[in-house]
């Protein structure tokens, strides 16, 4: 199995992560993994769904079909400055691009 390219989801706007998925797939990485921790888990789900539906102008640059693969949920222990460890939820979503990427229109 090939190694999946990982895109970490943070607090940037949704379209920034959709664009990151588009750019990765245009570069030839058709097998991606979205990783989100804590409060950004909802944004990762939104990114996956926007890509799957190819919804919006930015997502039009994706391959013909985006398949949401394995979704795994877990937790990580993150050390804090005060010496107390925090447990944070982690969600990983696999995305696979299938088919051709549409040609860009010249203006």
Domain of 35: which CATH number?
3.30.110.20
Q: Is residue 41 part of a domain?
A: yes
Q: Is residue 30 part of a domain?
A: yes
Contact 82, 75 (CB under 8 A): no
Contact 28, 62 (CB under 8 A): no
Q: Alpha-carbon distance 100 to 44, whole Å?
A: 24
- Condensed to tens digits (0 to 9), the pLDDT of residues 6-24 reads 999 999 999 999 999 999 9
Query: Residue 57's domain spans which residues?
Result: 5-98
Q: How many structural domains compose the chain?
A: 1
* Structure tokens, 53: 């539906």
| Cross-strand partners of 66 | 97
pTM, to two decimals: 0.87
Q: Alpha-carbon distance 85 to 102, whole Å?
A: 47
- Condensed to tens digits (0 to 9), the pLDDT of residues 52-105 reads 998 888 888 899 899 999 999 999 998 888 888 989 999 999 999 998 887 766
- Residue 106 pLDDT: 54
């Amino acid at each position: 199995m090939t190694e999946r390219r990982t895109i970490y989801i943070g607090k940037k706007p949704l379209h920034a992560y959709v664009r990151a998925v588009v750019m990765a797939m245009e570069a030839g990485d058709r097998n991606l993994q979205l990783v989100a921790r804590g409060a950004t888990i909802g944004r990762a789900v939104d990114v996956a769904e926007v890509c799957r539906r190819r919804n919006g102008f930015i997502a039009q640059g994706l391959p013909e079909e985006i398949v949401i693969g394995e979704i795994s949920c877990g937790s990580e222990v993150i050390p804090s400055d005060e010496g107390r460890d925090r447990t944070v939820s982690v969600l990983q979503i696999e995305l696979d691009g299938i088919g051709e990427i549409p040609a860009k229109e010249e203006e």
